[in-house]
Chains A and B, each alone.
Chain A
Amino acid sequence: DVKVTQSSRYLVKRTGEKVFLECVQDMDHENMFWYRQDPGLGLRLIYFSYDVKMKEKGDIPEGYSVSREKKERFSLILESASTNQTSMYLCASYGINTDTQYFGPGTRLTVL
């Protein structure tokens, strides 16, 4: 059974802290994504990666960076967390032979 896991379900951080969100997939997928989900706005793409060490900006990359050192792991980094980054963060992946995205359970981040 395919699996995408995220390091935390709930996270509370203070303004200015550096925050790491980790995502791991066990399907050998090339493509991995980070979205944020806010009420009324749907899912918005932050960053994606199509290979190890490769990354591309999505629609709302400001205030975020990413790291993909291994194929199975894609990390989202908030260099200096701000209150407007309070949101649900969803990781997803898909392989080259499928168009279906597999999602992790999400991390609800609160920045105080």
Chain B
Amino acid sequence: SQQGEEDPQALSIQEGENATMNCSYKTSINNLQWYRQNSGRGLVHLILIRSNEREKHSGRLRVTLDTSKKSSSLLITASRAADTASYFCATRPRDTGRRALTFGSGTRLQVQP
């Protein structure tokens, strides 16, 4: 099974509303990252939160991390039609020596104009 699992799988909202996506993971991590993918394109890094951080902001993005629950959330405030994309969380496991990130299956966000 995936290390990172996003919830919900799909989300449809109106422009101006907030969008919240959740990610759960199974093992201890060094950091958790969120990426965005426009349809048919590569992934673009949005934000990284380290295991000793609880909250981080970047523009209209707010990420929280709860290591006791092994979960993270990504909040996009005042959404725009251009935010329509898939969003993935990715984890860097701790103490495994694994160099690659482990990605979840993503949340598809549709923002209606």
Contacts and interface: CB of A to CB of B under 8 A. Distances in A.
B42 A42 contact: no
A106 B41 contact: yes
B48 A100 contact: yes
B100 A100 contact: no
B42 A99 contact: no
A73 B110 CA distance: 35
A108 B48 CA distance: 28
| Chain B interface bracket (under 10, 10 to 19, 20 to 34, 35 or more) | 20 to 34
Contacts of B90: 101
Interface SS of B by simple majority: strand
The residue among B2, B100, B103 with the most chain A CB atoms within 10 A of its own CB is: B100
Contact of B31 (A45, A99, A105): A99
Contacts of A42: 2, 88, 103-106
Given A42-B88, A42-B105, 15 more contacts: A4-B42, A43-B103, A45-B100, A50-B99, A90-B42, A92-B43, A100-B33, A100-B48, A101-B35, A101-B43, A101-B45, A103-B42, A103-B43, A106-B40, A106-B42
14 contacts: A31-B99, A33-B100, A42-B2, A42-B88, A50-B99, A92-B42, A99-B31, A99-B33, A101-B43, A101-B101, A102-B45, A106-B40, A106-B41, A106-B42
Task: Give 7 closest A-B pairs by Cβ, nearest first.
Answer: A103-B42, A42-B105, A43-B103, A103-B43, A100-B45, A105-B42, A45-B100
